[in-house]
Amino acid sequence: MINPAPNYHGYRFPSEIIAHAVWLYFRFSLSFRDVEDLLEILVQSRRNRRAAVRFFLKLLKKQGSLPRRLITDKLRSYPAANRTVMPSIVHRTDQ
């Protein structure tokens, strides 16, 4: 029997982020503090265009070079931020 998706109602982060953190924990044997540091780096408190621009700039600074393509979820602020920060980069939202 397949269990339904866990309900993380009332938690600070969306269920996708929590599920990914759990997967990282079991896949790579990271400590709780390591996983907490990874969510702290990538999670924004707001999900508007301005937050997405800051997010992209932070990732680009750490990456050091422009990506060939950008693949994100279907959040509508990401295409707007992509047009502002990296207009020449192809943005895709499929899996």
User: Degrees (nearest 5) of the Cα angle 85, 35, 57?
Assistant: 10
In angstroms, the CA 65 to CA 93 distance is 21
Q: Which residues contact 73 (CB under 8 A, 6 or more apart)?
A: 93
pLDDT in tens, 6-65: 677 787 888 888 888 888 778 877 677 776 666 755 666 778 899 899 889 988 888 888
Amino acid at 77: S
The predicted pLDDT at position 43 comes to 64
Collapse the DSSP code of 4 into the 3-class scheme (helix H, G, I; strand E, B; otherwise coil) and give the result: coil
Mean pLDDT of 56-82: 88
In angstroms, the CA 56 to CA 80 distance is 11
Domain boundaries, the chain: 7-43, 46-95
The predicted pLDDT at position 15 comes to 83
Take residue 33 and report the two structure tokens written for it: 């503090």
Contact between 85 and 92 under an 8 Å Cβ cutoff? The reply is: no
Within 10 angstroms of residue 54's Cβ, the number of other Cβ atoms is 14
pTM above 0.75, yes or no: no
